[in-house]
């Protein structure tokens, strides 16, 4: 049996090292070793990871990687890839990596080669995409579909939405006439806005829900269905057949809702929602960027999978990134993490990573159901860097919270544009990324600040950051980037001995909401079971409605 985390040899050694590190400043580290970039930056394919602006030295990194080995990370990686039941609380594997395996490979799970099923559904996805792109998917009146509304929430929403936005410029000719909208909010506000502008004859809804029972999604789906019914006298079977595609791991529920078997895409219980954009949940991505480009995205992620599984631990990007963050979180007490893409196309990356990391690693019990006595996932947030500079960077530079940052940028952009003003804008953005990461790291030392400068104009610096540079934002490099983060999350979960693939913390609220529904529909006096705050709020809402209806 493994010793508890804090009792492991490397952990103790790192605690020792942290005593000095806590007092060190990044500018001193760079003075001591001017070649830090060469020592602490790493490359895999189209992706460069610079970790030199973290308060690590060779010794710290050595012990961090020792810790990983001591916590049996290599064995756990094998377990993950082989399909062992790494999601212990739900007793199932987590095989998002299988979604990216080439058709020539095999992976057997309970007597079934799941790669076959994956590629079978990929070819079904391709068929649907071809039919829609060729203008031959017809609505009830015979008009070709030119608008897609993707209804999903959480993992069924954030990944596809992020990828569609990130890779939009890769849309092939036949996809350019297709509008894709994402709808997730439970209160229907997004859907209501879309429906006002859309043509029922030309709109196709994708209902994406692993369980096909997520209340947010099913409520939006019901509204979409009612909207179609009100717009035409065509029979409901026709509307269901021509205007809905379902993506779910529960085909019987899709059928019961009315989705034709031909229009059901399968996903699997062994894929977590937040790891599912590579599966049939990625249908909107394939519709946006074309099926070819969707497979390039999968290929990109697959190269990162192979790298994570086989590359030496000293050169393994996801492991290095994970362990340096562990150093920040557990030894330097940095528990806030900002995601800062310097590229407007990656606008939805922060929201995606918030879910990927906080829903995966926002846990406080070990795999053996014991409370942890160390920090796990930090609070994550972010925005497109240049915009965030006008919002929360003040706190990063002069606040009281230590924050680590991820800067993400692509080296080349606008390569096909003749507008040199756009090149200038790209350079402007890169210059800002370089300036901000420098200022955050070195503070006054990068500025030649005069002695008599008042404190409010001073920058303490010493905020660590990782820089990720993509050669160019392509489906491949984007696939690599997202897989890098997935594997980083897994690595950290292994170190913390937590299960990154369940999410019990989001279950109970849904149940409680269901229990509270009746008190909002009827004027219930029966509120004894709830606390005074909740009952007070319910009464206030009831009162407001009564007053209005008078």
Partner 1 sequence: MKISVWGKELNAWVAAAALSKVGNHVTLASLTPGHFETDLVVRNEPGLIDLLREQHKAGRLQFSDAPAPYDNDVHWLAFASDTFNIAEEIVKKIAKQTHGKTLLINQSYFNIGATEQLDNLLDSSAGQFIAYVPSTLSEGSALRDFENPSAFIIGCDYKQSFSQIRALFRPFLTRISNLQLMSAREAEFTKFSINGMLALRLGYINEMANLADSIGVDIERVRDAMTCDYRIGPYYLEPGCGFGGKAFSNYIRGLVETFQNKKISSLLNTLLSENEAQKELPFKKLWQHYNSDLSGKTIALWGASFKPLSASISNAPSLKIIDALLAQGCKINIHDPAALENIRNNYPDETKINYCDDMYDALTDCEGLILSTAWLDYKCPDYSLMKERMAVPVIIDGRNIYDRDYLSDIGFVYYGVGR
CA-nearest of 362, 349, 330, 328 to 466 is 328
Tokens of 299: 């290929």
Minimum Å gap between C-beta 395 and partner 1 is 44
User: How far is residue 45 CA from its own chain's centroid?
Assistant: 21
* Binding window for partner 1 (CB under 8 A); candidates: 54-62, 68-76, 139-147, 479-487: 139-147
Nearest 10 degrees: Cα torsion 388, 392, 394, 395: -140
- Of 72, 136, 387, 427, the one binding partner 1 by CB under 8 A: 136
Minimum Å gap between C-beta 33 and partner 1 is 56
* Binding window for partner 1 (CB under 8 A); candidates: 10-18, 133-141, 184-192, 394-402: 133-141
C-alpha pair distances (Å), 284 with each of 116, 129, 208: 22, 9, 10
* Contact pattern for partner 1 over residues 241 through 260, marking x by CB under 8 A: xx------------------
- Angle CA(178)–CA(183)–CA(189) in degrees, nearest 5? 125
Nearer to partner 1, 236 or 431 (CB): 236
Q: Is residue 32 part of the contact set for partner 1 (CB under 8 A)?
A: no
Tokens of 221: 């789906």
Minimum Å gap between C-beta 225 and partner 1 is 16
Please give the DSSP secondary-structure letter assigned to residue 271: S
CA-nearest of 405, 294, 366, 360 to 154 is 360
On the CB side of 374, CA atoms within 13 Å amount to 22
108 vs 98: CA distance, rounded Å: 10
Q: Is residue 53 part of the contact set for partner 1 (CB under 8 A)?
A: no
Write phi, then psi, for 18 (nearest 5 degrees): -65, -25
* Contact pattern for partner 1 over residues 268 through 307, marking x by CB under 8 A: ----------------------------------------
Nearer to partner 1, 232 or 366 (CB): 232
Give the DSSP per-residue string, 382-448: E--HHHHTTTTHHHHHHSSS--EEEEEEEEE--TT---HHHHHHHHHHHHHHHHHHHHHHHGGGGTT
- Angle CA(406)–CA(407)–CA(409) in degrees, nearest 5? 145
User: How far is residue 261 CA from its own chain's centroid?
Assistant: 30
Give the DSSP per-residue string, 149-215: EEE--GGGTHHHHHHHHHTGGG--GGGTT-EEEEE--TTSHHHHHHHHH--GGGEEEEEE-SSS--H
* Binding window for partner 1 (CB under 8 A); candidates: 238-246, 304-312, 346-354, 436-444: 238-246
224 vs 441: CA distance, rounded Å: 50
Minimum Å gap between C-beta 356 and partner 1 is 39
- Of 141, 394, 514, 544, the one binding partner 1 by CB under 8 A: 141
- Of 70, 84, 131, 292, the one binding partner 1 by CB under 8 A: 131
Q: Is residue 140 part of the contact set for partner 1 (CB under 8 A)?
A: yes
Q: Which of residues 358-417 bind partner 1 (CB under 8 A)?
A: none
Minimum Å gap between C-beta 149 and partner 1 is 19
* Binding window for partner 1 (CB under 8 A); candidates: 14-22, 49-57, 142-150, 336-344: 142-150
* Contact pattern for partner 1 over residues 144 through 183, marking x by CB under 8 A: x---------------------------------------
Minimum Å gap between C-beta 137 and partner 1 is 9
Active-site residue numbers?
A: 359, 390, 510
Size of the site for partner 1 (CB under 8 A): 14
Number of Cβ within a 10 Å radius of residue 351: 18
Nearer to partner 1, 54 or 133 (CB): 133
85 vs 71: CA distance, rounded Å: 18
Nearer to partner 1, 235 or 536 (CB): 235
* Binding window for partner 1 (CB under 8 A); candidates: 59-67, 132-140, 324-332, 474-482: 132-140
Nearer to partner 1, 47 or 287 (CB): 287
What is the H or E stretch that residue 242 is in? helix 236-243
Minimum Å gap between C-beta 339 and partner 1 is 38
- For CA atoms 230, 234, 238, 243, the dihedral sign is negative
Nearer to partner 1, 232 or 444 (CB): 232
Q: Is residue 446 part of the contact set for partner 1 (CB under 8 A)?
A: no
Burial 58-78 (b: 16+ CB within 10 A, else e): eebbebbbbbbebbebeebbe
* Contact pattern for partner 1 over residues 194 through 233, marking x by CB under 8 A: ----------------------------------------
Q: Is residue 138 part of the contact set for partner 1 (CB under 8 A)?
A: yes
Nearer to partner 1, 241 or 335 (CB): 241
Minimum Å gap between C-beta 280 and partner 1 is 22
- Of 143, 179, 194, 229, the one binding partner 1 by CB under 8 A: 143
- Of 215, 234, 430, 446, the one binding partner 1 by CB under 8 A: 234
548 vs 353: CA distance, rounded Å: 42
- Of 235, 505, 518, 536, the one binding partner 1 by CB under 8 A: 235
198 vs 47: CA distance, rounded Å: 40
Q: Which residues would be at the binding site for partner 1 (CB under 8 A)?
A: 131, 134, 136, 138, 140-144, 234-235, 238, 241-242
């Amino acid at each position: 049996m493994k010793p508890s985390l804090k009792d492991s040899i490397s952990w103790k050694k790192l605690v020792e090292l942290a005593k000095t590190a806590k007092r060190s400043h990044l500018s001193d580290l760079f003075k001591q070793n001017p070649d830090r970039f060469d020592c602490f930056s790493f490359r895999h394919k189209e992706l460069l990871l610079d970790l030199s602006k973290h308060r690590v030295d060779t010794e710290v990194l050595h012990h961090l990687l020792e810790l990983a080995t001591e916590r049996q990370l290599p064995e756990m990686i094998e377990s993950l890839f082989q399909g062992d039941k790494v999601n212990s609380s739900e007793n199932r594997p987590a095989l998002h990596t299988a979604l990216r395996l080439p058709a020539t490979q095999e992976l057997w799970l309970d007597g079934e080669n799941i790669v076959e099923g994956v590629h079978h559904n990929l070819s079904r996805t391709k068929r649907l995409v071809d039919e829609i792109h060729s203008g031959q998917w017809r609505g009830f009146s015979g008009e070709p579909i030119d608008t897609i509304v993707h209804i999903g929430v959480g993992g069924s929403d954030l990944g596809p939405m992020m990828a569609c936005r990130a890779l939009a410029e890769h849309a092939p000719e036949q996809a350019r006439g297709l509008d894709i909208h994402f709808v997730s909010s439970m209160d229907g506000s997004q859907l209501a806005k879309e429906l006002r502008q859309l043509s029922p004859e030309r709109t196709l809804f994708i209902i994406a829900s692993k369980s096909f029972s997520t209340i947010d999604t099913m409520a939006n789906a019901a509204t979409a269905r009612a909207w179609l019914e009100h717009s035409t006298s065509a029979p409901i079977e026709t509307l269901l057949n021509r205007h809905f595609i379902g993506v779910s791991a529960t085909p019987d529920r899709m059928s019961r809702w009315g989705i034709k078997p031909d229009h059901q895409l399968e996903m699997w219980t062994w894929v977590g929602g937040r790891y599912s954009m590579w599966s049939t949940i990625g249908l909107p991505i394939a519709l946006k960027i074309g099926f070819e480009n969707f497979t390039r995205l999968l290929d990109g992620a697959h190269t990162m999978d192979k790298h994570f599984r086989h590359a030496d631990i000293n050169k393994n990007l996801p492991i290095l990134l994970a362990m340096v963050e562990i150093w920040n979180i557990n030894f330097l007490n940095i528990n806030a993490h900002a995601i800062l893409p310097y590229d407007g196309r990656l606008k939805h990356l922060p929201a995606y990573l918030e879910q990927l990391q906080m829903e995966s690693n926002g846990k406080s019990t070990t795999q053996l159901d014991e409370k942890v006595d160390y920090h796990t996932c930090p609070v994550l947030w972010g925005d497109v860097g240049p915009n965030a500079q006008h919002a929360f960077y003040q706190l990063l530079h002069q606040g009281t919270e230590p924050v680590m940052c991820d800067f993400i940028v692509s080296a080349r952009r606008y390569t096909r544009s003749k507008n040199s003003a756009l090149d200038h804008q790209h350079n402007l953005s890169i210059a800002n990324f370089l300036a901000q990461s420098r200022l955050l790291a070195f503070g006054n030392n990068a500025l030649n600040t005069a002695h008599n400068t008042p404190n409010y104009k001073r920058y303490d610096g010493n905020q660590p950051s990782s820089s990720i540079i993509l050669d160019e934002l392509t489906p491949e490099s984007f696939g690599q980037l997202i897989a890098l983060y997935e594997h980083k999350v897994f690595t950290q979960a292994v170190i913390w001995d937590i299960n990154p693939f369940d999410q019990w913390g989001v279950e109970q609220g849904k149940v409680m909401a269901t229990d509270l529904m009746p008190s909002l529909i009827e004027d219930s006096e029966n509120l004894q079971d709830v606390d005074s705050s909740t009952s007070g709020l319910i009464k206030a809402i009831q009162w407001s409605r009564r007053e209005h209806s008078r």
